[in-house]
């Protein structure tokens, strides 16, 4: 998982810590700020910032050593802590959906940007094809048609990646029957 490092003046750091304390800590607040910035950049944010209810209650379960080892292996495979993995599992079952992990959210955002870029290029190619039917146009229709066909392939690949990111996460949690 990527780590961002930056320096702040002592007084700003103290003020930030005071704000972060009521928001769940530095990491929680920084992640929220980064996600809000990414969402705003991608135009996905609509309306006020959604705030999750802060979890304050504890729950304890007892597992065998083998179950703990298996749980740790599953969590490690996803780059998660044991507690985060169990929390996501429970929330998925309770709410029928689990939030995507940061890596998959990044993959979905990247796919969205690629599809947006391809859409812009496709519009340009379509305009060029429409302009090429005019007698005075010097455009090569075959070349523009090949360009449009290549966009179709790129769109299929981007959609497959987006689908994998979404299905992979949800399929993983849905496959747990026990």
Match 């304890």 to its residue by tokens.
Answer: 60
Provide the token pair at 19: 């704000």
pLDDT confidence of residue 67: 94
- Residue 2 domain flag: no
Distances (CA, A) of 71 to 36, 81, 131: 31, 10, 60
Residues 71 and 119 in one domain: no
Whole-angstrom Cα distance, residue 85 to residue 134? 60
Give the three-state DSSP class for 58. Answer: coil
Q: What share of the chain is helix, strand, coil (3-state, %, to 5)?
A: 70, 0, 30
- Residue 130 domain flag: yes
Residues 131 and 154 in one domain: yes
- 70: containing domain: 63-92
pLDDT confidence of residue 98: 56
Residues 129 and 155 in one domain: yes
- Residue 1 domain flag: no
Distances (CA, A) of 126 to 81, 129, 140: 49, 5, 13
CA of residue 163 relative to chain centroid, distance = 12
Specify whether the CB–CB gap between 16 and 8 falls below 8 A: yes
- Residue 132 domain flag: yes
Whole-angstrom Cα distance, residue 170 to residue 134? 50
pLDDT confidence of residue 61: 92
Q: For residue 139, how many C-alpha atoms fall within 13 Å in the half-sphere facing its CB?
A: 20
pLDDT confidence of residue 50: 53
Can you give the pLDDT of all 178 residues of the chain as single tens digits? Answer: 677 777 878 888 888 888 888 777 888 778 778 877 777 665 544 444 455 678 888 889 999 999 999 999 988 888 888 998 898 888 777 776 556 667 777 777 888 888 888 888 878 877 777 777 766 667 677 777 787 778 777 787 777 777 766 665 555 555 555 4
Residues 84 and 130 in one domain: no
Count CB-CB contacts under 10 A for residue 25.
12
Residues 106 and 164 in one domain: yes
Q: How many domains does the chain have?
A: 3
Q: Is the dihedral of CA 30, 34, 37, 39 positive or negative?
A: negative
- Residue 173 domain flag: no
pLDDT confidence of residue 143: 77
Whole-angstrom Cα distance, residue 109 to residue 103? 10
- Residue 79 domain flag: yes
pLDDT confidence of residue 113: 83
- Residue 87 domain flag: yes
pLDDT confidence of residue 178: 44
């Amino acid at each position: 998982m990527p780590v961002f490092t930056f320096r702040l003046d002592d007084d700003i750091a103290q003020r930030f810590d005071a704000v972060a304390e009521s928001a769940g800590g530095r990491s929680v607040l920084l992640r929220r700020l980064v996600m809000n910035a990414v969402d705003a950049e991608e135009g996905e944010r609509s309306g006020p910032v959604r705030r999750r209810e802060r979890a304050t209650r504890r729950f304890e379960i007892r597992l065998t050593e083998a179950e703990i080892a298996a749980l740790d292996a599953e969590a490690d495979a996803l780059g998660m802590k044991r507690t985060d993995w169990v929390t996501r599992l429970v929330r998925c079952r309770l709410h029928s959906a689990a939030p995507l992990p940061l890596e998959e959210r990044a993959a979905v955002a990247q796919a969205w940007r690629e599809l947006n870029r391809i859409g812009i290029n496709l519009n340009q190619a379509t305009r060029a094809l429409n302009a090429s039917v005019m007698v005075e146009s010097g455009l090569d229709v075959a070349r523009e048609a090949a360009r449009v066909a290549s966009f179709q392939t790129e769109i299929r690949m981007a959609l497959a990646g987006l689908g994998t990111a979404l299905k992979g996460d949800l399929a993983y949690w849905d496959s747990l029957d026990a």
